[in-house]
């Protein structure tokens, strides 16, 4: 029985596909807050997160949304690093799951990854400034399980935007050791993404992520027979501490500032 | 010219006949409650009833209805109508005339929907009664009616035919 | 000048988050009867195909009004019903076999990330608990992979104006995928109700006469985005 209590350093690797014009995308990976939290001196982040189903000790989905704003009303500074820590007791059961590689994603895209390597999805709105005008573009995120490295979990994030400019990014994230009272930890470093000459590097206005699902299943051949195997994936903690599940997220920005947000997801009612 | 003895024999015979009639009527009266049809002359009459009923409860494919009957026997009427297929229905009907007693019958009918109404048409058998209607029986009575879905499944039902009593 | 041209083009293209212009969602229906004979107890197969929508995925359908030819009816020799609640909790196996009216399959699509996730689901049609004595229908959609989940479509009999007779109004609940991603859409659906030559099993009763031009079928759909579409077709008269 393999359970992964995430606790390792993150490394991120960025791969670009061609194209002259890039629009910045940033991926926020993490399960985050039920309330908006502390801002740095120039950036603020409003975060919301939940488990679905909202029950203890069951396969679940963790979804989060984030809205970034700049204190001066301009475009937020580009995010260069995101780290988050989930509640203690949350675990991952990867029996039956497959993996994908960064090379496959870069060369072919998500269709090259086996369906049972899907870990989650996401997206949002990126933006940059050009000649005083703000340009917005939607982006999507596909998350896949990568092969373990030294026993630690790794995730691949395929980031894509199509209009007005086409862009594809593959980010690799690994485990992070989480301090108490947290359990799972992730961190991803995000490089600056230039856009067009004269325009600002890309930033993020909003993003969402959805990890895991309670009812994922795939057919496997077991002892010569085709059988439906259910993936447990992300499992919610069995107990909820007084006050709710604690989450923390920290964002580094290109302007050198850092924003740390702490919040609690209310304990399930039943 | 009859002799006095002959007249005596006729009178004796008459007394014997009267005695026989008395015995037979006494015996007949004794068995009447158990077997009226065999012991008394059945009367044939016509039963014509119209009932206006409202839904009291329902369960799956059965409507339980209650209302007022008018016609030959006026009083309360209860109908339990059950769909047995998409085109057939069966029913139990009970009438409680205001003068007392009861009439019970069972029906089978065809069933058909017409938009927001449905109609049924078939035959009813009167199988038992009580009180003044203890001897009522009948088969092949007409049984038809309408279910108004737009009026909370209110039913109008007609029963008509010959019954014996 | 060139930079200004590029700037102008970018500004024209991207003043707001880009969103692909969506074609309206439309649907087609293809009915077929077997045997194709007047007055027969038959099986009716109805195939519905949805197209259009944003990024090639039709908007999820929420309500369908299906209209059948005048005189066409369903014959159910023995009435057994199965509740929606039972279907949701226990699936098809939780219902009496005599309540089953037919079956089929459907293809679902849902956008997630950059991908369109597809899933084939098995359909089973059942006689539902009647609304008073008005027939009700339920269609169980059972998916297994990638999402092992059920959905139940509910239907009630309606009356249509000529040249149609009875119809069915079906309600399709939202088919969730994962939180924060769009609900799944039915792309194609094929359902067969009734059994050929059946007198002791549910069957569709073909009218004894066929109007000039063929048996008319029609359908109207309401989608989750508030849009509507309508379609009609005819099945040629049996030869």
What ipTM score was computed for the predicted complex, to two decimals? 0.84
pTM of the complete model beyond 0.90: no
pLDDT value of position A165: 65
Question: Residue B86 to residues A171, A184, A238: CA-CA distances in angstroms?
Answer: 62, 60, 52
| Chain C partners within 8 Å of B147 (Cβ) | 132-133
Mean pLDDT for A186-202 is: 82
Q: Taking all residues of chain C, what is their mean pLDDT, rounded to a whole number?
A: 90
Neighbours of chain C (3+ CB pairs under 8 A): A, B
Distance CA B122, CA B110 (A): 6
Q: How confident is the model at residue A210 (pLDDT cuts 50, 70, 90)?
A: very high
Percent of chain C at pLDDT > 90 equals 82
- Mutation target to probe the C interface, by most C beta carbons within 10 A, among A106, A160, A167, A217 is A217
Neighbours of chain A (3+ CB pairs under 8 A): C
Tokens for A239?
A: 């107990």
Q: Does B150 touch chain C (CB under 8 A)?
A: no
If you measure CA to CA, which chain B residue comes closest to C161? B115
B103: nearest Cα among B62, B33, B163: B163
pLDDT value of position A270: 65
Q: Does A101 touch chain C (CB under 8 A)?
A: no
pLDDT value of position B27: 37
Cβ <8 Å between C77 and B86: yes
Q: Is the pLDDT of residue A26 over 60?
A: no
Strand, helix or coil at B7? Answer: helix
- Which residues, 6 or more positions from C93, have their beta carbon under 8 angstroms from its beta carbon? none
Q: Does A160 touch chain C (CB under 8 A)?
A: yes
A47-61, A247-261, C150-164, C219-233 — most confident range: C219-233
Query: Which of residues A231 and A35 earns the better pLDDT score?
Result: A231
pLDDT value of position B124: 98
Cβ <8 Å between A61 and C112: no
Domain ranges of chain C: 29-225
Cβ <8 Å between B149 and C78: no
- The beta strand positions in C18-90, using DSSP E, are 23-34, 41-53, 61-69, 73-75
Query: Which of residues C109 and A30 earns the better pLDDT score?
Result: C109
Distance CA A172, CA A12 (A): 5
Please identify among residues 29-68 of chain B the ones whose CB lies closer than 8 Å to any CB of chain C. Answer: 55, 58, 60-61, 63
Mean pLDDT for A56-81 is: 90
Mean pLDDT for C96-117 is: 96
Distance CA B56, CA B79 (A): 10
Mean pLDDT for A100-111 is: 95
Distance CA B74, CA B95 (A): 8
Q: Is the pLDDT of residue B153 over 50?
A: yes
In DSSP notation, C96-145 reads -GGGEEEEEEEEEEEEETTEEEEEEEEEEEEEEEEETTEEEEEEEEEE-S
- The beta strand positions in B6-165, using DSSP E, are 44-59, 62-71, 75-83, 88-97, 102-114, 117-130, 138-148, 154-164
Strand, helix or coil at A263? Answer: strand
Cβ <8 Å between A164 and C10: yes
pLDDT value of position A17: 23
Q: Is the pLDDT of residue A129 over 50?
A: yes
Q: How confident is the model at residue A263 (pLDDT cuts 50, 70, 90)?
A: confident
Q: Is the pLDDT of residue B10 over 70?
A: no
Please identify among residues 222-251 of chain A the ones whose CB lies closer than 8 Å to any CB of chain C. Answer: 228, 230
Q: Is the pLDDT of residue C150 over 80?
A: yes
pLDDT value of position C13: 40
pLDDT value of position A64: 86
- Mutation target to probe the A interface, by most A beta carbons within 10 A, among C7, C12, C178 is C178
- Mutation target to probe the B interface, by most B beta carbons within 10 A, among C68, C131, C132 is C132
pLDDT value of position C21: 60
Q: Is the pLDDT of residue A27 over 80?
A: no
C128: nearest Cα among C185, C67, C170, C68: C170
Longest dimension (CA), chain A: 64
Mean pLDDT for A95-106 is: 95
CB C203: neighbour CB atoms within 10 A?
26
A136: DSSP letter: E
pLDDT value of position B28: 36
Q: How confident is the model at residue A202 (pLDDT cuts 50, 70, 90)?
A: confident
The answer to whether C90 and C185 have CB atoms below 8 angstroms apart is no
Q: What is the pLDDT of residues C115-146, one digit of tens each?
A: 999 999 999 999 998 876 788 999 999 999 99
pLDDT value of position B17: 44
Q: Does A66 touch chain C (CB under 8 A)?
A: no
Q: Is the pLDDT of residue C204 over 90?
A: yes
Query: Which of residues C232 and A207 earns the better pLDDT score?
Result: C232
Alpha helices in A67-225 (DSSP H): 102-107
pLDDT value of position B39: 60
Longest dimension (CA), chain B: 89
Q: Does B113 touch chain C (CB under 8 A)?
A: yes
Query: Which of residues C4 and A184 earns the better pLDDT score?
Result: A184
Domain ranges of chain A: 3-265
Cα atoms in the 13 Å half-sphere on the side-chain side of B54: 3
pLDDT value of position C212: 94
């Amino acid at each position: 029985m393999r359970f992964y209590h995430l606790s390792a350093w993150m490394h991120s690797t960025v791969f670009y596909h061609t194209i002259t014009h890039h629009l910045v995308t940033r991926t926020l990976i993490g399960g985050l807050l039920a309330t908006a939290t502390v801002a740095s001196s120039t950036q603020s982040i409003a975060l919301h997160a939940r488990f679905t189903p909202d029950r203890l000790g069951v396969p679940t989905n963790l979804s989060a949304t984030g809205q970034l704003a700049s204190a001066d009303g301009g475009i937020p500074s580009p995010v260069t690093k995101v780290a988050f820590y989930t509640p203690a007791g949350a675990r991952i059961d990867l029996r039956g799951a497959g993996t994908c590689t960064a090379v496959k994603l870069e060369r072919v895209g998500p269709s090259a990854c086996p369906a049972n390597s899907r870990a989650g999805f996401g997206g949002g709105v990126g933006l940059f400034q050009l000649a005083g005008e703000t340009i917005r573009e939607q982006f999507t995120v596909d998350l896949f399980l990568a092969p373990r490295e030294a026993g630690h979990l790794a995730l691949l994030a395929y980031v894509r935007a199509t209009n007005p400019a086409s862009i594809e990014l593959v980010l690799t994230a690994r485990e992070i050791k989480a301090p108490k009272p947290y359990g799972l930890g992730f961190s991803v470093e995000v490089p600056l993404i230039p856009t067009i000459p004269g325009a600002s590097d890309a930033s993020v206005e909003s993003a969402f992520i959805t990890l895991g699902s309670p009812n994922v299943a795939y057919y496997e051949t077991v002892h010569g027979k085709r059988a439906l195997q259910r993936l447990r994936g992300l499992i919610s903690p069995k107990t909820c501490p007084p006050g709710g599940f604690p989450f923390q997220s920290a964002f580094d920005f290109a302007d050198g500032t850092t924003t740390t947000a702490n919040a609690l997801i209310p304990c399930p009612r039943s | 010219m009859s002799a006095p003895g002959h007249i005596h024999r006729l009178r004796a015979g008459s007394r014997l006949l009267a005695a026989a009639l008395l015995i037979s009527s006494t015996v007949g009266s004794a068995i009447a409650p158990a077997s009226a049809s065999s012991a008394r002359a059945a009367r044939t009459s016509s039963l014509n009833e119209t009932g206006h009923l409202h839904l009291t409860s329902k369960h799956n494919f059965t409507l339980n209805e209650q209302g007022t009957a008018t016609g030959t026997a006026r009083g309360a009427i209860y109908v339990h109508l059950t769909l047995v297929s998409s085109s057939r229905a069966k029913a139990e009907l009970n009438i409680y005339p205001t003068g007392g007693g009861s009439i019970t019958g069972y029906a089978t009918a065809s069933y058909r929907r017409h938009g927001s109404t449905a109609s049924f048409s078939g035959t009813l058998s009167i199988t038992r009664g009580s009180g003044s209607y203890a001897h009522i029986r009948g088969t092949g009575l007409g049984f038809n009616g309408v279910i108004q879905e737009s009026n909370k499944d209110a039913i109008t039902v007609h029963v008509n035919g010959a019954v014996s009593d | 000048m060139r930079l200004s041209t590029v700037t102008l083009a970018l500004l024209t293209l991207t003043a707001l988050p880009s969103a692909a212009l969506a074609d309206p969602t439309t649907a087609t229906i293809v009915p077929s009867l077997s045997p194709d004979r007047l007055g027969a107890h038959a099986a009716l197969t109805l195939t519905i195909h949805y197209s259009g929508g944003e990024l090639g995925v039709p908007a999820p359908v929420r309500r369908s009004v299906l209209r059948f030819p005048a005189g066409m009816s369903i014959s159910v020799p023995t009435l057994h019903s199965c509740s929606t609640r039972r279907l949701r909790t226990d699936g098809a196996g939780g219902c009496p076999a005599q309540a089953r009216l037919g079956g089929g399959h459907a293809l679902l699509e849902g956008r997630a990330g950059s991908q369109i996730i597809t899933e084939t689901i098995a359909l089973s049609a059942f006689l539902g608990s009647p609304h008073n004595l008005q027939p009700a229908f339920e269609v169980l959609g059972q998916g297994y992979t990638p999402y092992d989940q059920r959905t139940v479509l509910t239907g009630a009999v309606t009356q249509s104006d000529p040249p149609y007779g009875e119809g069915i109004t079906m309600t399709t609940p939202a088919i969730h995928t994962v939180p924060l991603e769009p609900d799944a859409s039915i792309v194609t659906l094929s359902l067969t109700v009734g059994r050929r030559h059946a007198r002791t099993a549910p069957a569709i009763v073909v009218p004894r006469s066929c109007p000039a031009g063929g048996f008319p079928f029609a359908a109207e759909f309401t989608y989750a985005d508030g849009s509507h579409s309508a379609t009609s077709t005819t099945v040629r008269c049996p030869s």
